[in-house]
Structure 1
Amino acid sequence: MKLVVQVKLEPTPEQTAALEATLRACNEAANWLSALGHARGQVSRRALQCLAYAQLKARGLAAQPALHVLRKTADAYTVLNANIRNGNLGRPGAKRRRKAESKPITFRPGAAQPYDDRCLSWQLDAGTVSIWTTAGRLRGVAFACSRQVRKMLAEHRKGESELIHRDGLWFLMATCDVPEASAIEPTDFIGVDLGIVNIATTSDGVIHAGRALNRHRKRQRELRRKLQKKGTKSAKRVLKRQRRKETRKATETNHIIAKRIVTEAERTSRGIGLENLSGIRQRARLKKPQRVALHSWAFAQLGRFVEYKARRAGVPVVYVDPAYTSRRCAECGYIDKANRVSQARFECRSCGVVAHADRNGSRNVRALARELWRRGAESHAPAPGAGAGRGPVVTASGGCRAASLVP
Structure 2
Amino acid sequence: MSENPLPTPGTTSPPVSPPAGVSASPPADGFAEAARLDAADPLAALRRAFVLDDDTVYLDGNSLGALPAAVPGRLAEVIGREWGELRIRSWTESGWWTAPQRIGDRIARLIGAAPGQVVVGDSTSVNVFKALVGAVRLTATADGPRGGVRDQILVDSGTFPTDGYIAGSAARMTGCTLVPVPAADLPSVAGPRTAAVLVNHVDYRTGELHNLPAVTAAAHAAGAPVVADLCHSAGALPVNLDALRVDFAVGCTYKYLNGGPGSPAYLYIRAEHQDRFDSPLPGWNGHRAPFEMTADYRPAPGAVRGRVGTPDILSMLALEAALEVWDGVDLAEVRAKSLALTDYFLARVAALAPEASAVPVTPAEHARRGSQVSLRCTDAAAVMAELIRRGVVGDFREPDVLRFGFTPLYTSFTDTERAARTLATVLRERPR
TM-score of the superposed pair, with normalisation by structure 1? 0.30
- Structure with max Cα Rg: 1
**Bigger strand share:** 1
TM-score of the superposed pair, with normalisation by structure 2? 0.28
Using CA pairs under 8 Å that are at least 6 residues apart, name the structure with larger relative contact order, 1 or 2: 2
